[in-house]
């Protein structure tokens, strides 16, 4: 059994330390109040048993709470009082400097909490350590000076989660949709260097990757680009190549004829497109930003976004190459093809690609093949999105289709219907057309729905009262995020605010006008709907008796967002939080506050957003149909998934799921496995096994448990993780049942 120290490092549980702590307090008490040696052993063993039954790796603070409880239970109140005083004095000493121990432990790579915080960061690399060091200082400053005490306390207790506090001290926002079209067509500036409109597709791709890296270094969330914005440069290259071929033919006095000439041009063009896509594929994976990781980038592939038939055909060429190269993967250090985490790919299902006989169905079949092997692309239904996302003046079925920002955060529809009057001074503004590229999200605060339910104790009136109190707390925390951005000048991140990624503001101009009127969003996150409903009703939210309550909870959060939006002209939006490491934090806090409750707090994780619980037996189609109703009530972002076995030999079933997605749900993905053991060459599923109370990854073929000698890719929560996970998320991954 392990225990987590205050600095985050994980060590072997040692009962003698509990015994010694009790003995120290015991000696301070009057002799007639002291425990016997047998009572000390008894109390220590009881604490050990409770730690073993906790369902997670306990912290030192939790152990000390348990010691206090045992001393009280034995009626040795004076010893308990002296033990509490000792804890208080030591705590006061630690508060004089709250960051040193954590920073030193992460430098030495023994801070388990930090090591497993982000499944796409390698904590042994100095650039990651540098980011984490800065983050620890920022978190300390944020919690001591910048946030109200009640918000900090609620965050620490797992009642809410104030996301990305390690970046809050700086004036940074969360995620965005890059206006790549404006930057490529009208030029941009990178590191003080003017970048003009590129003269080939491959150059455009190279510039795009530089933009991606710059943007990633200026914000802390995900970003998305559209492949459509690169498609016009295919024809630029086509014309350039044609001129080159004609010159070559003329130089040797050859006359191949129009048909042959076109064939030569198109062959060379395909080579150019392959080079450009390869640039995106490899640059994104190998670039290291100031966040200490590869850019969190999503590439959007939407045929109907093209402006004309030629551009659509060229876009199809780009999509085809992107899927082919992603299917192949990238090579690891052993030279073996593996699944990379990024770029995340999103493929839009639409009428001209979703069924056999449609013009672009060949791309959908290729997408299915890629998903079965590499877990991407994920899928957006144009049909459902145009029902849900309606800008001003639009009717259901005739709305807008656009990508999320990163893994799932969606912008609200353009309530101006007119590109917000070009408040951002974009170079590609089109009057009368809704605007999405160039917009962003201000940040996230998440409510722990499970805590609300357990605090109410099945009293429905009390539930709604506590719910509103917690939502008010979240609202004030979100206001802190908003107000932290107010007054930020465009000079803080020129690539974002001055050179087209999000706006073309003047130097020194404040970004405040982009924080109101719906141009940007701010997200009320939520987690644990399943456990919340079960705690209040005794049933899963998939049960007919409990579903109405689950929907009412969702609607209530939407109503509160609408209320805040109307009062403040800020686009609050309900967001199904991904919960990477926070799922474990919330679970531990719930266990500490309410104990182990079967079916609710007995796991090392709580359920993401509105999802069906990972252990619940349900088929893929029923799951998607059920979750679609909740996805619609999560307009600020959500994604559904189905867990599937190896489907590479059953692509017909994959396509059937994709077609079902098109007709029933806006945004979904298929989860499979993609692993490799570097010790023995095994390329099946790396298993999760238990060792002394801790979950570890093990090759079933050779028994290798060295994470540095295996490649494991799993869907974390909307995106792929490749650097492993904390114990809570690992338990959740282990518990997933197949839906197909």
Alpha-carbon distance values, 398 to 384, 386, 394, 401, 639 (Å): 10, 5, 6, 9, 22
DSSP string, 664-722: H-SEEEEE--EEEETTT---SPPEEEEETTEEEEE-TTT----GGGEEEEEE-SSSEE-
pLDDT at residue number 127: 67
Assess whether 585 and 525 both reside in one domain.
yes
- List Cβ neighbours of 668 (8 Å cut-off, separation of 6 or more): 378, 379, 624, 639, 640, 641, 642, 661
DSSP string, 470-519: HHHHHHHHHHHHHHHHTT-BGGG-HHHHTSSSS--PPTT-BSGGGSSTTS
Assess whether 30 and 123 both reside in one domain.
no
Residue 96's pLDDT band, with cuts at 50, 70 and 90, is: low
Question: What are the beta bridge partners of residue 189?
Answer: 194
Residue 106 has pLDDT above 60, yes or no: no
DSSP string, 256-311: --HHHHHHHHHHHHHHHHHHHHHHHHHHHHH---TTSS---EEEEE-GGGSSSHHH
46, 63 contact by CB (below 8 A): no
pLDDT at residue number 626: 98
Each residue's pLDDT tens digit, 613-630: 999 999 999 999 999 999
Please say which residue of 607, 626, 652 terminates a domain.
607
Backbone angles phi, psi at 584, to 5 degrees: -75, -45
532, 450 contact by CB (below 8 A): yes
Asked if residue 525 belongs to a domain, the reply is yes
Assess whether 10 and 139 both reside in one domain.
no
Each residue's pLDDT tens digit, 430-454: 999 999 999 999 999 999 999 999 9
CA angle 198, 203, 207 (to 5 degrees): 85
Each residue's pLDDT tens digit, 651-672: 999 999 999 999 999 999 999 9
**E strand or H helix at 189, and its extent?**
strand 188-190
Backbone angles phi, psi at 478, to 5 degrees: -65, -35
Each residue's pLDDT tens digit, 513-536: 999 999 999 999 999 999 999 999
Assess whether 166 and 24 both reside in one domain.
no
Assess whether 456 and 596 both reside in one domain.
yes
Residue 94 has pLDDT above 60, yes or no: no
Q: Which residue has the tokens 């053991």?
A: 677
pLDDT at residue number 422: 98
- Of the ranges 79-93, 161-175, 461-475, 570-584, which one carries the lowest mean pLDDT score? 79-93
pLDDT at residue number 693: 81
pLDDT at residue number 138: 83
Kindly state the average pLDDT of the residues 110-119. Answer: 53
Sign for the pseudo-dihedral over CA of 226, 228, 234, 239: negative
Q: How far apart are the first and last CA of the chain?
A: 36
Length reported for the chain: 740
Residue 126 has pLDDT above 80, yes or no: no
CA–chain centroid gap for 543, Å, is 28
Structure tokens at 113: 């909490």
Residue 99 has pLDDT above 90, yes or no: no
Please say which residue of 74, 96, 118 terminates a domain.
96
Question: What are the beta bridge partners of residue 9?
Answer: 111
DSSP string, 419-461: GGGGTT--TT--TTS---TT-BEEEEEEEEHHHHHHHHTT-HH
Assess whether 27 and 164 both reside in one domain.
no
Alpha-carbon distance values, 177 to 326, 360, 397 (Å): 22, 26, 23
Asked if residue 496 belongs to a domain, the reply is no
Assess whether 455 and 603 both reside in one domain.
yes
CA angle 365, 676, 707 (to 5 degrees): 135
Residue 739 has pLDDT above 80, yes or no: yes
Assess whether 471 and 571 both reside in one domain.
yes
Residue 92's pLDDT band, with cuts at 50, 70 and 90, is: low
CA atoms within 13 A on the CB side of 29: 23
382, 348 contact by CB (below 8 A): yes
CA atoms within 13 A on the CB side of 258: 0
Asked if residue 590 belongs to a domain, the reply is yes
Assess whether 482 and 569 both reside in one domain.
yes
Residue 378 has pLDDT above 70, yes or no: yes
Alpha-carbon distance values, 638 to 104, 315, 350, 452, 574 (Å): 37, 27, 20, 21, 9
Q: Give percent of the chain with pLDDT exceeding 70.
A: 93
The span from the CA of 494 to the CA of 475, in Å, is 30
Average predicted confidence (pLDDT) for the chain: 92
The span from the CA of 436 to the CA of 457, in Å, is 43
- Ramachandran assignment for 137, one of left (phi > 0), alpha (psi -120 to 50 degrees), beta (any other): alpha
Kindly state the average pLDDT of the residues 41-51. Answer: 92
DSSP string, 298-342: EEEE-GGGSSSHHHHHHHHHHHHHHHHHHHH-EE-TTS-EE--S-
Asked if residue 714 belongs to a domain, the reply is no
- Rounded to the nearest 5 percent, the helix, strand and coil shares of the chain are 50, 15, 40
The span from the CA of 167 to the CA of 300, in Å, is 27
Backbone angles phi, psi at 737, to 5 degrees: -100, 155
Just list the catalytic residues. Answer: 174-175, 405, 407, 409, 441, 575, 580, 718
- Of the ranges 480-494, 658-672, 704-718, which one carries the lowest mean pLDDT score? 704-718
Cβ atoms within 10 A of the Cβ of 198, count?
20
Assess whether 483 and 586 both reside in one domain.
yes
pLDDT at residue number 244: 96
Go through 587-619 and write b for each residue having 16 or more CB atoms within 10 A of its CB, e for each that does not: bbbbbbebeeeeebbebbbbbbbbbbbbeeebe
Asked if residue 267 belongs to a domain, the reply is no
400, 434 contact by CB (below 8 A): yes
Asked if residue 26 belongs to a domain, the reply is yes
Kindly state the average pLDDT of the residues 598-603. Answer: 95
**E strand or H helix at 4, and its extent?**
strand 2-4
Asked if residue 223 belongs to a domain, the reply is no
Cβ atoms within 10 A of the Cβ of 626, count?
18
Assess whether 139 and 167 both reside in one domain.
no
Is omega for the bond preceding 377 within 30 degrees of 0, making it cis? yes
577, 525 contact by CB (below 8 A): yes
- Of the ranges 23-27, 87-91, 601-605, 650-654, which one carries the lowest mean pLDDT score? 87-91
Asked if residue 377 belongs to a domain, the reply is no
Domain of residue 104: give its range. Answer: 98-146
The span from the CA of 188 to the CA of 198, in Å, is 11
The span from the CA of 97 to the CA of 121, in Å, is 26
343, 298 contact by CB (below 8 A): yes
Residue 609 has pLDDT above 90, yes or no: yes
- List Cβ neighbours of 429 (8 Å cut-off, separation of 6 or more): 419, 422, 435
The total number of structural domains in the chain stands at 3
Assess whether 451 and 560 both reside in one domain.
yes
Backbone angles phi, psi at 265, to 5 degrees: -60, -45
Highest mean pLDDT among 109-113, 504-508, 673-677: 504-508
Nearest alpha-carbon partner for 122 in 580, 732, 722: 722
């Amino acid at each position: 059994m392990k225990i987590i120290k205050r600095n985050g490092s994980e060590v072997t549980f040692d009962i003698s330390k509990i015994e010694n702590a009790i003995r120290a307090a015991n000696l301070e008490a009057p002799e007639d109040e002291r425990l016997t040696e047998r009572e000390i052993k008894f109390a220590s063993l009881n604490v050990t048993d409770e730690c073993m039954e906790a369902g997670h790796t306990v912290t030192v603070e939790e152990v000390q709470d348990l010691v206090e409880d045992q001393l009280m239970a034995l009626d040795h109140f004076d010893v308990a009082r002296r033990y509490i005083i000792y804890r208080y004095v030591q705590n006061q000493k630690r508060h004089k400097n709250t960051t040193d121990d954590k920073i030193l432990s992460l430098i030495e790579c023994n801070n388990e909490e930090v090591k497993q915080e982000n499944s796409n960061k390698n904590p042994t690399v100095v650039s990651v350590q540098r980011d984490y060091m800065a983050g620890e200082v920022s978190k300390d400053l944020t919690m001591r000076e910048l946030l109200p005490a009640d918000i900090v306390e609620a965050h620490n207790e797992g009642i809410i989660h104030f996301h990305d506090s390690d970046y809050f001290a700086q004036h940074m926002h969360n995620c965005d949709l890059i206006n790549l079209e404006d930057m490529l067509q009208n030029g941009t500036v990178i590191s003080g260097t003017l970048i003009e409109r590129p003269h080939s597709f491959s150059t455009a791709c190279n510039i795009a990757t530089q933009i991606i890296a710059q943007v990633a270094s200026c914000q802390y969330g995900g970003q998305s680009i559209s492949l459509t914005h690169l498609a016009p440069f295919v024809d630029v290259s086509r014309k350039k190549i044609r001129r080159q071929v004609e010159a070559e033919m003329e130089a040797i006095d050859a006359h191949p004829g129009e048909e042959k000439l076109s064939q030569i041009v198109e062959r060379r063009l395909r080579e150019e497109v392959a080079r450009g896509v390869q640039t995106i594929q490899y640059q994104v994976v190998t670039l290291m930003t100031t966040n200490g990781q590869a850019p969190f980038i999503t590439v959007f592939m939407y045929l109907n976004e093209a402006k004309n038939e030629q551009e659509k055909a060229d876009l199809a060429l780009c999509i085809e190459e992107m899927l082919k190269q992603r299917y192949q993967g990238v090579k690891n250090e052993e030279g073996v093809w593996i699944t990379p985490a990024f770029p995340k790919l999103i493929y839009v299902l639409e009428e001209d690609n979703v069924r056999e006989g449609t013009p672009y169905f060949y791309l959908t079949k290729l997408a299915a093949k890629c998903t079965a092997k590499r877990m991407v692309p994920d899928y957006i239904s144009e049909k459902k999105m145009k029902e849900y996302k309606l800008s001003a003046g639009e009717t259901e079925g005739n709305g807008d289709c656009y990508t999320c920002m990163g893994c799932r955060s969606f912008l609200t529809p353009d309530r101006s219907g007119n590109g917000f009057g070009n408040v951002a001074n974009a170079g590609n503004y089109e009057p009368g057309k809704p605007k999405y590229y160039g917009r962003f999200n201000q940040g996230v605060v998440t409510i722990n729905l499970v805590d609300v339910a357990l605090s109410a104790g099945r009293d429905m009136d009390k539930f709604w009262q506590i719910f509103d109190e917690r939502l008010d707390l979240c609202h004030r925390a979100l206001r802190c995020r908003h107000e932290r951005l107010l007054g930020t000048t465009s000079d803080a991140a020129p690539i974002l605010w001055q050179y087209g990624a999000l706006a073309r503001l003047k130097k020194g101009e404040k970004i405040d006008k982009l924080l109101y009127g719906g141009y940007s969003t701010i997200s009320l996150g939520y987690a644990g709907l399943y456990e919340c409903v079960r705690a209040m009703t005794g049933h899963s939210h998939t049960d007919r008796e409990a579903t109405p309550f689950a929907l009412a909870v969702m609607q209530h959060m939407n109503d509160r967002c609408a209320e805040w939006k109307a009062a403040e002209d800020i686009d609050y939006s309900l967001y199904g939080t991904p919960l990477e490491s926070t799922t474990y934090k919330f679970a531990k806090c719930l266990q500490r506050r309410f104990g182990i409750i079967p079916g609710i707090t007995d796991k090392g994780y709580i359920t993401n957003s509105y999802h069906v619980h990972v252990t619940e037996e349900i088929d893929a189609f029923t799951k998607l149909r059920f979750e679609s109703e909740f996805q619609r009530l999560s307009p600020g972002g959500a994604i559904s998934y189905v867990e599937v076995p190896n489907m590479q030999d059953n692509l017909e079933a994959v396509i059937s799921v994709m077609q079902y997605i098109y007709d029933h749900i806006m945004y979904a993905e298929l989860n499979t496995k993609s692993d490799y053991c570097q010790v023995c060459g095994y390329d099946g599923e790396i298993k999760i096994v238990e060792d002394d109370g801790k979950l570890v990854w093990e090759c079933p073929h050779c028994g290798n448990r060295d994470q540095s000698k295996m490649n494991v890719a799993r869907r974390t929560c909307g995106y792929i993780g490749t650097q492993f996970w904390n114990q809570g998320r690992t338990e959740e991954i282990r518990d997933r049942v197949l839906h197909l």
